[in-house]
Structures are given as C-alpha cells and as structure tokens.
Structure 1
Amino acid sequence: MLLLSRKAITTPFVICACILGVGLIQFPQLQKLINRKQSVSLETLQKEIKSENLRLKFLQKMPSFSYDNFIADLVYLNFLQYFGDDEVRNRTGYSLSPEYFEVILERDPRFLAAYRSLSTSTSLYAGMPERAIALSEKGLKSLSPSVPEKSYYVWRYKGVDELLFLGNAKAAHKSFATAANWASKFSDPESQMIANTSQRTAEFLSRNPNSKYAQISSWSMVLNNQVDERTQKRAIREIEALGGKVITTPEGTNKIVLPPKD
C-alpha cells in the first residue's frame, strides 16, 4: 500500500520533469543562435533559425501537464533574447517573432505583456500585422474586461496594428471603441484615461477614416510603450510626418502637439 502511494505521488512529478526536460533541453539552441556574430555566415544563421522554428513548433504542440504558464514565461524570456540581439536580427530579420507568440499565447492567452511585444515585434519589425492581429483575436476569446486586469490594452494594441499597418480604419474603430468600453468599467485614473483617449480615437475615425489625429494618437501609444530607441525614433518620425510635434517634458515624458487641422 505504501509502495502504491509513493508511486502515485512520484509519477506525476516524473512525467512533468520529463516533459519539461524535453523542452528545456532545446533552449541552449536559442542561446547558440543569439550568440552568433558577424563572422558567422548568413547560411549558417538561416539554418539555425530553421532549427529554432522547429523547436518552437514542438513546444507549441507538446503536452504541458498544467505547466502552460511556466512554458509561456520561458519562451517569452527566449523571445526577449532573440528580439534584443540587434546584430543578428539586422542580418536575418524578425521572421520568428510570431512563432514565439504562437507558443506563448497558446499556452497563456492572458499574458498581457506579451501582446504589447507581439504588436511591436511582429507588426513593426517583422512586417506581419496580419499575423499579429490574428493572434490577438484568438487570445481575446479568452479575455474579458476584468480578466486579466487592464485587458483593454489588447484591444488598443490590435487597433494600432489595424490602423497603422493595415490601414483598416473600420476595424480599428471597432477595436478602439471596445477598448474604451472595457476601460470605462473601472474608476481608477489609468483606466479612465485609456477610456477617454480610446473613445476620442474611435470618434476621429468615425468622422474621418484617414484621420491624422487618430494616426498620431496611435503612434503616440507606440512611443509611450517603453519600446527600444529605434522604435521611439520611428514613432517620432511618423508623428512629425503627420504634422504633429513631440516635446519631451522636464520630467522625461513625451507631450504630443497635434496639427491645427485633422
């Protein structure tokens, strides 16, 4: 009886350890990939990217035995390493970005921070806004106004992608309006601010699908999302091209001055 009891206790741990071990053994491959420098041939880098893509496909399909969030966290950390390796990304591009989020959001669709990285990496850098939007739409099926907290941001990220990278003002209007609706259900200052700005952006788009104000508002969101310096410079250029101005306050925040006419 005691033997059976011990077996019942240890078996789940052994199974979980084996499953996680299979996945974790693969992580050094990414470390090898991100440590590559200019001396490595492009052909070699491309082969390693294919290998990393296969690893991500495996992680997407393998059973987790209730360790979904743990796997999502590990893959997100790997994504940050991949995305932050500018030297290699300048040579190979960012094509794996959506593949990381296929794993992350499949395992943990309520991982709020992942959606922000998804929008920047996949739409802006990888040039795949359709993939980013599709992943957001799939994840939104698991979200509600209060789960997770501040989930209204996902609708804003989606609206930014639809407006700035696809030019789909109708879809963006719906996303910003939904963000405003979800945020309005909470009384804290941040939620109320998001509700107001999202509602204004939706109104701009309802009056004028080509609204410069709406586009500037969306680029302002990109600018203020704690993104890297390159993305900040891109956002500032886009805002100025639309006739707006970016003024950095003494406190280090960005103040946006809209053009006289929309």
Structure 2
Amino acid sequence: MSVSIQNSLGDKFRAKLSQLSPTLIVQVGWILGAFAIVIHMQTPQLATLKHQSKNMDKDVLAREEAQIKARLSIAKVLPTFGYKNTIANWYFLDFVQYFGDTKVRQKAGYGATLDYFDTILDLDPRFLYGYYYLSSTGSLYAGEPERTVDLMNRGLKSLSPKVPERSYYIWRLKGVDELIFLGDVTAARNSMQTAANWAREYTDPQSLTAAQVSQATANFLARNPNSKQARFDAWSMVLSTAIDDLAIERAIAEIRATGGKVTISPTGEYNVVPPAKD
C-alpha cells in the first residue's frame, strides 16, 4: 500500500512539474540548492566531533577547537532563509555535545564556549534557555565573565519585560555574574533592580518571588557593597541553575563561605539557609 501511494504521489508531482516553465524550474533549483548548501554548512557536525574526540592528542584537539571557532564565525554571516531560530537550536545542541565531552574538555579546555553563544544568541537573542547555559559555562568554565556579560548586554537590547516570557531571569543571571565573577557591585545592583522591575510586570507567584528576591538583593548591595546576603543570594541562584557536579560543588562551597548552610534532602533537593544578617 505504501509503495502505491508513493508512486501515486510521484506521478502527481511529475505531472505538476511538467507544467512549469523551464525558467521557473531553474529558479526553484537554484533556491533549493542554495538552501541545501546552507543546511549542510550550518548543521552541527556532531558525528565528526564525536569521532575526533577519541583522539586525545593536544595538537589534534587544538586544531579541532580552531575548526569549531571558524565554523561558528562563518555561521554568523551565512544566509539563514528565515530559519535563524532553528539553526540556533542546532548549534545549541552542538554545544551540549561539546560541553558534555568531559574527557576532551579537561584536556582541551572550554575555549569555544563563548563563540558558541556569540553565534547562538546572535541568531536568536530571545533564546531564554541559552542564557542559563551562557551564565554557567561562560564565567565558571571558560573563565571569561567580561565577555559573558557583554553577550548578555547585547542580547538584552532585543528583549523587553514580556519578550521572551520571564526575560527578567536574564537580568538576574547578569547581576550574578557581575557580582561574584566581576566584583562590579554597581552594575550588579542595577541588574537586580531591573530584574525586579521586569518581574513585577507579571502576576504569577514565581515572578512575584523573583521580583521580591531581586529587589532584596539590590537593596542589600545598596546598603552594603560587601553584603554576605547578596553573595549568598547570587550563589544560591548558581546552585539552582548548575548543570554539572563542578558547578554544584563550587556553589555549595561559596554559599558556606558566606555563612550560609546547604543540606541535601532524601529526594536530592538542596535546602539552603541564609547567613546571619550583615
């Protein structure tokens, strides 16, 4: 049955095709060919990278890292034919593969991390989930908090309180990086205040809590630039968005350094207790 249907559809397609002018057929061919080239160049080469990652030679890994950066740089200038969001998703999946190859990353480092998000967020600055990974990996793993914050600032120019939904979290993430990685208390306070203002545009409990916590952090920083409570809040957010054991361990250690406490429930949830008042 499936063969006869396919043949029937093929006959109909050929009949329609025969009615088209030769010029139009050529034009369609050029469009489809160009689109195929873009897809081929844009689609992350996951299988290739996975194969190459088996070779742990430093020179090979360095070349692979350079190839990744070059491909990401080219991706920013290639035509997308209206598929920017889809292509951004492909590169995000490619980054997950890149980041998750722990053995290779331990030897080669995370040098292409910010290049990934430069491309991903250039294609889709409204990709909220991407900012979570950018904050966690750009500052903590790649060790480039300045560039991480720069990418957030660039993306925020395309956003508003309601676009994308709950975009106030990006301001919170930026404030965290500014406080604990850059030590820029003024910028962190402004980011947290903006997060509070944007979160108040919503009426759901989650957003109201975010507004309250963000405002409290901004107030703590205004009164005391060295506030332990503010650093506790920042590292608690890092813990809540941590994507692997290294980030979790660092966040727990920093929370405890402020005088806060962290316990793990039988179900694996982290319970945090703030430090004594500043």
Q: TM exceeds 0.5?
A: yes
Report the CA distance between 1:25 and its aligned residue.
7.5
Aligned residue runs from structure 1 range 96-115, under 5 A: 96-115=112-131
Report the CA distance between 1:250 and its aligned residue.
4.5
Aligned residue runs from structure 1 range 239-250, under 5 A: 239-250=255-266
**Runs ≥4 residues deviating over 6 A:** none
Q: Which of 98, 101, 115 matches 1:82?
A: 98
Mapped partners of 2:216, 2:157: distance in 1: 25
Amino acid of the structure 2 residue aligned with 1:159? G
Q: Which of 9, 12, 20 matches 2:39?
A: 20
Secondary structure in structure 2 of the residue aligned to 1:52: helix
Aligned to 1:219: 235
Query: Structure 1 stretch 245-254 or stretch 126-135: which is displaced more?
Result: 245-254
Does the 8 Å contact 1:136/1:158 carry over to 2?
Answer: yes
User: TM-score, structure 2 length as denominator?
Assistant: 0.88
Mapped partners of 1:50, 1:137: distance in 2: 26
Mapped partners of 2:80, 2:39: distance in 1: 7
Report the CA distance between 1:197 and its aligned residue.
0.7
Report the CA distance between 1:20 and its aligned residue.
1.3
Does the 8 Å contact 2:199/2:207 carry over to 1?
Answer: yes
**CA deviation map 1:46-90 (0-9, x unaligned):** 121111111111112211111111110111001001111111111
Aligned to 2:49: 30
CA gap 1:144/1:48 in 2 versus in 1, 3 angstroms: same
Mapped partners of 1:52, 1:29: distance in 2: 11
Q: Which of 218, 222, 243 matches 1:206?
A: 222
**CA deviation map 1:182-231 (0-9, x unaligned):** 01110111111111111111111010111110011010001011521221
Aligned residue runs from structure 1 range 40-189, under 5 A: 40-189=56-205
Query: Structure 1 stretch 251-260 or stretch 56-65: which is displaced more?
Result: 251-260
1:2 aligns with 2:20: yes
Report the CA distance between 1:95 and its aligned residue.
1.0
Unaligned stretches of 5+ in structure 1? none
Does the 8 Å contact 1:26/1:55 carry over to 2?
Answer: no
CA gap 1:25/1:73 in 2 versus in 1, 3 angstroms: closer
Report the CA distance between 1:148 and its aligned residue.
0.6
Mapped partners of 1:124, 1:147: distance in 2: 27
Amino acid of the structure 1 residue aligned with 2:130? A
Secondary structure in structure 1 of the residue aligned to 2:262: strand
Secondary structure in structure 1 of the residue aligned to 2:54: coil
Amino acid of the structure 2 residue aligned with 1:151? S
Report the CA distance between 1:142 and its aligned residue.
0.7
Does the 8 Å contact 2:229/2:274 carry over to 1?
Answer: yes
Does the 8 Å contact 2:168/2:195 carry over to 1?
Answer: yes
Query: Structure 1 stretch 213-222 or stretch 50-59: which is displaced more?
Result: 50-59
Mapped partners of 2:54, 2:252: distance in 1: 31
Mapped partners of 2:194, 2:113: distance in 1: 26
Amino acid of the structure 2 residue aligned with 1:205? L
CA gap 1:173/1:239 in 2 versus in 1, 3 angstroms: same
The structure that has the greater radius of gyration is 2
Aligned length: 259
Mapped partners of 1:259, 1:60: distance in 2: 45
